[in-house]
Amino acid sequence: MSEMEEWAEYYTNIDNLAKISQYCKYREVVIIRNLVDRRVTVRPIKIFKSEHLKFWIERLDLRKTLFNIYISNASVKLPPLTSNLSQLTEIRKQLTEQWESLMTGYDIFVDIDIENFEDRPFAYDIAEKIFMELKGKYPHVQLWDTTRGYHIVDFGRFSPEFVKNLVMDICCYNNIPMSHPVKEKDGKKYYAEEGKWVQVEPNFVPPPIDKPNCDTSIYDLRRIRRIPYSLHSKTGRPMVKLA
């Protein structure tokens, strides 16, 4: 069986569609198709059950095309949406304008980035440390393998600013590398150094941080993340839960 046939079989399996669909509820769904000469983004999509996902897979002919599927990190009460692709751009603009009023919560989300597959063992060590730190206070937190890096998620009614500070403090106090180890508080700037926050000058620019690291640039309202159990277009493997 070819790689594309395995891809089509995975997205034909109703059990796989059901597992993916359960994470789409109350989220904006985003599909990015990998065409020969470009990537095409389709958003916003609303999915509440496997039949909805099946519709979009058939509508976009996704069993013959590599793609990635994402959900919003925020939970939202989406208005009725259309399947008319030509209307999605205008609806996306409207959603952006109304987003904060539609939000019902924001998840704790940690993304451990890698550059090369050889980085995965170190990336896992980072993810496990952050996961265990969070687990003590947030018992429902989950650790996921995206097949490249790792995600840590706790579904809840948090705010982006709270999540960002929480994750950055955990990384700082445990000497975990961050993509941008600088934060501001009360008009002052601080740099994570040797397990503590050190005040720096307003024009301070941190040195480049190599991957693997904890991506701390992801806490905006419209952030999207890979959806559990979906296939990664580069690895062809599903995102799976580790803990």
Q: Please list the alpha-helical segments (H only) found in 47-152.
A: 50-59, 88-102, 120-135
Average pLDDT, the chain: 96
Measured distance CA(50)–CA(230) in Å, rounded = 13
Measured distance CA(233)–CA(235) in Å, rounded = 6
Largest Cα separation within the chain, whole Å, is 59
- Among residues 238, 204, 214, 95, which one has the least CA distance to residue 163? 214
Say what percent of the chain tops pLDDT 90. Answer: 96
199-216 as b/e: b if 16+ CB within 10 A: eeeeeeeeeeeebbbbbb
Question: For the residues 8-13, what does the mean pLDDT come to?
Answer: 96
Question: Which amino acid appears at position 214 of this protein?
Answer: C
Is the predicted pLDDT of residue 2 greater than 90, yes or no? no
Question: For the residues 209-228, what does the mean pLDDT come to?
Answer: 97
Is the predicted pLDDT of residue 35 greater than 90, yes or no? no
Question: For the residues 197-210, what does the mean pLDDT come to?
Answer: 95
Cα dihedral 168, 174, 175, 176 sign: negative
Q: Please list the alpha-helical segments (H only) found in the chain.
A: 3-10, 14-21, 50-59, 88-102, 120-135, 160-173
Q: Which pLDDT belongs to residue 36?
A: 82
Measured distance CA(185)–CA(200) in Å, rounded = 12
Is the predicted pLDDT of residue 188 greater than 90, yes or no? yes
Q: How many CB atoms lie within 10 A of CB 196?
A: 11
Measured distance CA(55)–CA(202) in Å, rounded = 51
pLDDT digits (tens, 9 = 90+) for 125-173: 999 999 999 999 999 999 999 999 999 999 999 999 999 999 999 999 9
pTM of the model: 0.95
| C-alpha to C-alpha distances, 150 to 4, 19, 58, 109, 121, nearest whole angstrom | 25, 19, 29, 11, 11
- Please report which confidence band the pLDDT of residue 68 belongs to, taking 50, 70 and 90 as the band edges: very high
H/E element, 115: none
Q: Which pLDDT belongs to residue 27?
A: 98
pLDDT digits (tens, 9 = 90+) for 72-127: 999 999 999 999 999 999 999 999 999 999 999 999 999 999 999 999 999 999 99
- Check residue 54 and give left, alpha or beta (phi > 0: left; psi -120 to 50: alpha): alpha
